[in-house]
Amino acid sequence: MMPPQGSEFAGEVDVVYMALFWLSVVLFLGIAIAAIGFAWRYRYKPGRVTPHQTHNTTLEIVWTVIPLLLCVAIFFWGLNGWMKYAVAPGEAMEVQITARKWSWAFEYPDGSRTVNEIHVPVNKAVRFVMTSEDVLHDFFVPDMRVKHDIVPGRYTEVWFTPTVLGTHVVTCAEYCGKGHSDMQAKLVVDNDADFQKFMETGGTEWEDYKNKPAEWGKLQWERKGCSTCHSIDGTRIANGGPSWKGIWGKMETMNDGKQYLVDAAYVEESEFYPNAKVVKGFDPIMPSFQGLLRSHELQGIQAFIKSLGNDPNAGPPAPTVLSLPPKPAPGQPAANP
């Protein structure tokens, strides 16, 4: 009657469920057999006089107290299981969920993001900190036996330790409108090796932008904080950096008087060694993005800046398709991921 068990907690919940199931079967059969049995055994015979049994106080007490004791026991049993669900262990990996009509956005501690698909390592606790961009949603993973509403304007939490490899369904369980029943996600439980591989690529969202690198780059401009200092409409942001508008393919003058071409290599150097070249009139205040930008994100930014050029078709080439760097040969240092 229950879905496959994806965690130990699922197993514990199922024990309670099955106990309640059998208790219900026994009690229901008691009711049905009594009702139908009495209707048959004491079926109408004309002239029969029925006994005048008005009450039996002892019986009333017995069938009040015994169910009460049963209820108390079941309450504590349920509470016991629930307490495990309610408190995440300290070492749980935290994943942020932003739910919106009608998709799931996941973000890992290292900033990797995915949409509608999440990978977690087996046998490690994972804790989801969730909020909504719009209306109520609910994060429900049947195989793990957990769910919790996602409330706009606050954070709610749910956690579990998956113990079974494979793909599990995540499904929205709070009515949210037209796309409510289409709002599914995939929860993939990986072994450690596969999970590492997944994390190295920074999630799977970028795959949707493979052929739209400039759009991907714009997202990075928003998410990585570039927009705080660099405008894209030509205006100069106070205490910031140069606008990206129209700079692609320009010969830019630095504060030491030297001139350099703004191309893909220049952008890459600016991201990772920002103070190697500082444009004239600006201060050396840009933080480094070493280790904070995946290769496909850098490619996106390069493509995006080119798209902001006076003539996007002119100037040095920028990536037209997002890709991952090839894996280094054993013994060789890895390229910037």
Partner 1 sequence: MEHALTSQTRIGEKPRPKKNYLNETTGFWSWAGTLDHKRIGVMYLVGVLSAFFIGGVFALIVRLSLLTPKHMLFGRVLISADTYNRMFTLHGVVMIFLFIIPSVPAALGNFAMPLMLGAKDVAFPRLNLASFYLWCTGAVMGVTSMLTGAVDTGWTFYTPYSTTTNGTVSLMVMAAFVLGFSSIFTGINFVATVHKLRAPGMGFFDMPLFVWGIYSTAIIQVLATPVLGITLLLLAIERSFSIGIFDPKLGGDPVLFQHFFWFYSHPAVYIMILPGMAIISELIPTFSKKTMFGYRAVAYSSVSLALLSFIVWGHHMFVAGQSQLATVVFSALTFLVAIPSGVKMFNWLSTMYKGNISLETPMMYAISFLMLFGIGGLTGIFLGTLATDVHLTDTYFVVAHFHYVMMGGTVIAFLGGIHYWWPKMTGRMYNERWGQIACVIVFIGFNMTFLTQFILGSRGMPRRYYNYLDQYQGLHAFSTYGSWVLGLGLFITAAYLLASLRKPYDAPENPWGGSTLEWKTSSPPIAHNFEEQPVLERAPYDYRPEAVTF
**Residue 54 within binding range of partner 1, rule CB under 8 A:** yes
Angle at CA of residue 158, ends 23 and 71, nearest 5°: 25
User: And the tokens for 161?
Assistant: 């330790």
Q: How far apart are CA 73 and CA 164, in angstroms?
A: 31
Give the nearest distance from C-beta 189 to partner 1 in angstroms.
16
**Residue 53 within binding range of partner 1, rule CB under 8 A:** yes
Q: Which of these ranges, 53-61, 185-193, 260-268, 282-290, lies near partner 1 under the rule CB under 8 A? A: 53-61
Residue 122 has φ and ψ, to the nearest 5°, of: -70, 150
- Contacting partner 1 (CB under 8 A), which of 91, 178, 331, 333? 178
Give the nearest distance from C-beta 125 to partner 1 in angstroms.
17
Give the nearest distance from C-beta 201 to partner 1 in angstroms.
28
User: And the tokens for 110?
Assistant: 């290292």
User: And the tokens for 272?
Assistant: 């990772």
Q: How far is CA 327 from CA 42, 49, 193, 200, in A?
A: 83, 93, 15, 11
Residue with structure tokens 């390069």? 302
Q: Which residues ranging from 207 to 246 are in contact with partner 1 (CB under 8 A)?
A: none
Q: How far apart are CA 93 and CA 121, in angstroms?
A: 10
Nearest to 293 by CA among 109, 110, 96, 105: 110
Nearer residue to partner 1 within complex by CB, 141 or 226? 141
Q: Which residues ranging from 24 to 43 are in contact with partner 1 (CB under 8 A)?
A: 24, 27-28, 31-32, 34-36, 38-39, 42-43
Give the SS3 label for residue 188. Answer: strand
Q: Which of these ranges, 109-117, 174-182, 265-273, 298-306, lies near partner 1 under the rule CB under 8 A? A: 174-182
| Residue pair 224/291 in contact by the 8 Å Cβ criterion | no
Q: How far apart are CA 160 and CA 164, in angstroms?
A: 12
Q: Which of these ranges, 151-159, 207-215, 226-234, 243-251, lies near partner 1 under the rule CB under 8 A? A: 151-159
Nearer residue to partner 1 within complex by CB, 133 or 200? 133
Q: Which of these ranges, 92-100, 152-160, 209-217, 320-328, lies near partner 1 under the rule CB under 8 A? A: 152-160
> What x/- string results for residues 64 through 103 when contact with partner 1 is judged by CB under 8 A?
x--xx--xx-xx-xxxxxx--xx-----------------
- Contacting partner 1 (CB under 8 A), which of 88, 111, 116, 156? 156
